[in-house]
């Protein structure tokens, strides 16, 4: 059984909306890993969270070897040397040279005993059975040393790090065929609202296609998760309650959008309140004020607002860190880049942190300039599409002048490529 430690205490009741910093600290500091471990073939582990530190079992490379095609010898060379061996990559023989001898060698071939340097074939003069190498080669030139990439027994990859393509190369270079990783987080995703319609269906007045679910599935898939798509739930309190109660038994996370405020028609949060506990709600941010977080039994509830922009931003800011920690990953805040504003804003409300849809352009002086999507509406998917990142504006800020430095968070820092 996987140990499950969720938040059992309710640390927020009434009062002011919760700040972004506080919310993030709770999600990353008080949630813990819920996933078990599994040992998989190397190729199946790409993108997973590593479950244990990995040490190099031996030197990489294992032996000194040639970095170029040419002639190997012990530096310094004086005069022509007899060529006494020919060593190609993959040659398993043990060769050795006497002082003053050389061997023909090819890239990747193990250097013979007694040699320490390789001269590039283009620079060598071959006459009969001898070779002359250029003067001025230093000992070790064009040779790769055993262990120069990774020394035996050094810890190279750390538990809770994400396996990237270059890590695949490293693990393979250690000769590892199987790797212990974290199992995926089991995430159930649903949309809520009587107005929502499945794409492909005939639309009528008063309806909108469910755009959040396709987006949230794609966002969730940027992390190691196993997704259950629960489709659209209508605004029916009994049905929602029964569904959430059932789904919570077999999932680590329930991720919803819509029905997130605390009104008569906000059935999702009302159901969570009846079935479990909500730990936080009402955020001092824009968009995403009605984001909430809680649990039903051992299942984490992450309730996103229905507006697509708010759902998107809240996923990046809160769901991503939560899924990381629950999945056994170590969460790192994306890097913020200070960039000159190419716009002005005179009427930001103080007291809440705002995340504007932005993009970068190279300015006249060669430095990047941030542009802000002109329209603010949190239903506008076009702004999300035009954007390449978020502009983060602090609680205290009320105005931004053209040229002021603003904080830019590229979407790539949230795992969204392209």
Residues near ligand AMP (CB under 6 A) are 191, 193, 195-196, 208, 210-213, 257-261, 305-308
Q: How far is the CB of 149 from ligand AMP (least distance, A)?
A: 49
Q: How far is the CB of 263 from Mg ion (least distance, A)?
A: 9
C-alpha distance from residue 321 to each of 2, 58, 220 (Å)? 20, 35, 11
Q: How far is the CB of 264 from ligand AMP (least distance, A)?
A: 11
Tokens coding 170? 């490293």
**Contact of 140 with 146, CB cutoff 8 Å:** no
Length of the chain: 418
Strand stretches in 250-336, DSSP E = 253-257, 277-281, 285-286, 292-296, 299-304
Rounded CA gap, 184 and 33, in Å?
11
Residue 389 within binding range of Mg ion, rule CB under 5 A? no
The smaller minimum CB distance to ligand AMP, of residues 308 and 342, is found at 308
Which residue, judged by CB position, is nearest to Mg ion in the bound state?
193
- Identify which range of 25-33, 199-207, 256-264, 363-371 contacts Mg ion by CB under 5 A: 256-264
Q: How far is the CB of 35 from Mg ion (least distance, A)?
A: 31
Q: How far is the CB of 381 from ligand AMP (least distance, A)?
A: 9
Q: How far is the CB of 259 from ligand AMP (least distance, A)?
A: 5
- Read off the DSSP letter of residue 369: E
The smaller minimum CB distance to ligand AMP, of residues 231 and 338, is found at 231
> Residue 23 CB: number of other CB atoms within 10 A?
25
Choose the contact partner of 239 out of Mg ion, ligand AMP, none; CB within 5 to 8 A by kind.
none
The residues, any chain, with a CB within 8 Å of residue 390's CB and separated by 6 or more, are 313, 316, 355, 356, 357, 358, 408, 409, 411
Choose the contact partner of 19 out of Mg ion, ligand AMP, none; CB within 5 to 8 A by kind.
none
**Contact of 409 with 389, CB cutoff 8 Å:** yes
**Number of residues in contact with Mg ion, rule: CB under 5 A?**
3
Buried b (16+ CB within 10 A) or exposed e, 72-98: bbbbebeebbebebebeeebeeebebe
Tokens coding 93? 């023989």
- Identify which range of 41-49, 53-61, 71-79, 251-259 contacts Mg ion by CB under 5 A: 251-259
Among 258, 303, 334, 358, binds Mg ion (CB under 5 A): 258
Which residue, judged by CB position, is nearest to ligand AMP in the bound state?
306
The smaller minimum CB distance to Mg ion, of residues 124 and 232, is found at 232
Tokens coding 295? 């649990």
Q: Given phi > 0 = left and psi -120 to 50 = alpha, else beta, which region is 26?
A: alpha
Rounded CA gap, 165 and 254, in Å?
30
Choose the contact partner of 225 out of Mg ion, ligand AMP, none; CB within 5 to 8 A by kind.
none
The smaller minimum CB distance to ligand AMP, of residues 258 and 276, is found at 258
Q: How far is the CB of 341 from ligand AMP (least distance, A)?
A: 29
The smaller minimum CB distance to Mg ion, of residues 52 and 208, is found at 208
Among 193, 288, 294, 303, binds Mg ion (CB under 5 A): 193
Q: How far is the CB of 240 from ligand AMP (least distance, A)?
A: 12
- Identify which range of 63-71, 187-195, 201-209, 350-358 contacts Mg ion by CB under 5 A: 187-195
> Residue 377 CB: number of other CB atoms within 10 A?
12
Q: Is 410 helix (H, G, I), strand (E, B) or coil?
A: strand
Tokens coding 368? 């990047």
The smaller minimum CB distance to ligand AMP, of residues 171 and 319, is found at 319
Q: How far is the CB of 358 from ligand AMP (least distance, A)?
A: 22
| Residue position matching structure tokens 């984001």 | 291
> Residue 41 CB: number of other CB atoms within 10 A?
9
Choose the contact partner of 222 out of ligand AMP, Mg ion, none; CB within 5 to 8 A by kind.
none
List interacting residues with Mg ion (CB under 5 A): 193, 258-259
């Amino acid at each position: 059984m996987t140990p499950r430690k969720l938040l059992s205490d309710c640390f927020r009741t009434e009062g002011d909306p919760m700040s972004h910093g506080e919310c993030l600290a709770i999600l990353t500091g008080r949630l813990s890993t819920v996933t078990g471990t599994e040992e998989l073939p190397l190729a199946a582990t790409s993108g997973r969270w590593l479950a244990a530190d990995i040490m190099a079992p031996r030197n990489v490379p294992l032996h000194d070897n040639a970095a170029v095609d040419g002639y190997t010898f012990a530096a310094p060379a004086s005069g022509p040397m007899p060529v006494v061996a020919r060593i190609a990559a993959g040659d398993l023989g043990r060769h050795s040279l006497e002082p003053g001898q050389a061997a023909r060698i090819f890239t990747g071939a193990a250097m013979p005993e007694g040699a320490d340097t390789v001269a590039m074939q283009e620079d060598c003069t071959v006459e009969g059975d001898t070779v002359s190498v250029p003067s001025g080669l230093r000992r070790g030139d064009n040779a790769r040393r055993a262990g120069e990439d990774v020394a035996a027994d050094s810890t190279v990859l750390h538990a809770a790090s994400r396996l990237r393509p270059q890590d695949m190369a490293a693990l393979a270079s250690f000769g590892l065929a199987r790797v212990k990783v974290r199992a995926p987080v089991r995430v159930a995703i649903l949309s809520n609202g009587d107005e929502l319609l499945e794409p492909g269906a005939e639309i009528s007045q008063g309806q909108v296609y469910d755009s959040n679910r396709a987006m949230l599935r794609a966002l969730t898939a940027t992390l190691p998760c196993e997704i259950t798509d629960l489709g659209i739930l209508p605004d029916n309190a009994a049905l929602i309650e029964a569904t959430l109660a059932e789904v919570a038994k077999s999932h680590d996370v329930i991720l919803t959008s819509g029905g997130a405020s605390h009104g008569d028609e906000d059935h999702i949060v009302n159901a969570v309140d009846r079935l479990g506990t909500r730990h936080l709600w009402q955020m001092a941010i824009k968009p995403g004020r009605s984001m909430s977080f809680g649990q039903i039994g051992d299942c984490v509830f992450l309730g996103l607002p229905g507006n697509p922009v708010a759902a998107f931003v809240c996923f990046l800011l809160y769901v991503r860190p939560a899924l990381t920690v629950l999945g056994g990953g170590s969460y790192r805040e994306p890097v913020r880049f200070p960039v000159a504003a190419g716009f002005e804003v005179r009427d930001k409300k103080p007291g809440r942190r705002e995340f504007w849809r932005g993009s970068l352009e190279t300015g006249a002086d060669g430095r990047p300039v941030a542009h802000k999507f002109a329209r603010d509406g949190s239903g506008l998917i076009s702004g999300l599409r035009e954007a390449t990142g978020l502009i983060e504006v602090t609680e205290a800020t009320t105005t931004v002048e053209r040229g002021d430095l603003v904080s830019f968070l590229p979407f790539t820092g949230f795992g969204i490529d392209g």
